Amino acid sequence: MTMPTIRVQTDDFDLQSEIDLLTAGRMDIGAVVSFSGLCRDEHGALSALELEHYPGMAEAEMNRIALLAIDRFSLLGLTAIHRYGKIAPGANIVLVIAVASHRQAAFDGANFVMDFLKTSAPFWKKEHAADGSPRSWVDAKDADDTARDRWR
Amino acid sequence: MTKLVYFAWVRERIGKTEEDLDLPPEVVTARDLLNHLKTLGEEYENALQYPEVIRVAIDQEHVEHFEKIAGAREIGIFPPMTGG
């Protein structure tokens, strides 16, 4: 059984190093798909995002989702990293890398993990406005639930 | 005593990160708990005004509002998630 790598951290991550960790010495991997989620500035309106999480549950929930994906798409490896704390526009927030024998499983695996991570991993975003107006919590989107439900 | 932990705008509106509460015996389900908390003061009423949108986790696992909370060591109460 493939075990996922799950990390919740304040530090940034390096995409290539994480890919290398998954593929080093492996001759059976034919496909690597990665997704990086970055902080947008919303056309200059945002100075930062602040990410809050539920310590312990965030890791546990990401691990649960990762195991579902590994099983469903026969992934040969999976890494999911989510940052928390204050994140500036242009900086990384989240990384998912799925590796498999063939591309479709790797694409689907990464997509599946992101769809479930957005709706069930306990993270919350708060926006810091560039003009100094009061900070506001980001609303959950129905579109994220719809994206998750297509995997049923 | 049951440990309750709050996150995001639920935490801000209640004004606490966590607390230990003695829950009355009539509080059986997660829904009962949210309704009970709403009676504890204006800040709780404000945080839990629309209980149907609030998410509940028992011992760090998501539960539905109809589920029982008996035996829970830690109950997390928070808004819909917006990570990723």
Domain boundaries, chain B: 2-78
CB-CB under 8 Å, B61 with A123: no
The end-to-end CA distance of chain B, in Å, is 34
* ipTM for this prediction: 0.96
Contact B83 A124 (CB under 8 A): yes
Record the tokens describing residue A135, joined without a space.
């900070």
pLDDT of residue A112: 98
Q: E-assigned strands of chain A? A: 5-9, 31-38, 46-53, 77-83, 85-87, 92-100, 123-129, 136-137
Q: What is the rounded distance in angstroms from the CA atom of residue A45 to the CA atom of residue A148?
A: 29
What was the pLDDT predicted at B65? 98
User: pTM for this structure?
Assistant: 0.95
Tens digit of each residue's pLDDT, chain B (84 residues): 999 999 999 999 999 999 999 999 999 999 999 999 999 999 999 999 999 999 999 999 999 999 999 999 999 999 999 999
Q: Is B17 on the interface with A (CB under 8 A)?
A: no
Query: Could you give the CA distance from residue B65 to residue B59 in angstroms, rounded to a whole number?
Result: 15
**Residue A1: pLDDT band by 50, 70, 90 thresholds?**
confident
Set of chain A residues whose Cβ sits within 8 Å of the Cβ of B81: 118-124, 140
Q: Which fold has domain B2-78?
A: Ubiquitin-like (UB roll) (3.10.20)
How wide is the angle at C-alpha B53 spanned by C-alphas B66 and B33, nearest 5°? Answer: 45
Output the domain CATH number for residue A145.
3.90.1170.40
Domains held by chain A: number: 1
Structure tokens at A145: 């639930």
- Provide the residue range defining the domain that includes A65: 5-149
CA-closest candidate to residue A106, choices A80, A74, A63, A82: A74
Of A27-31, A144-148, B47-51, B61-65, the least confident:
A144-148
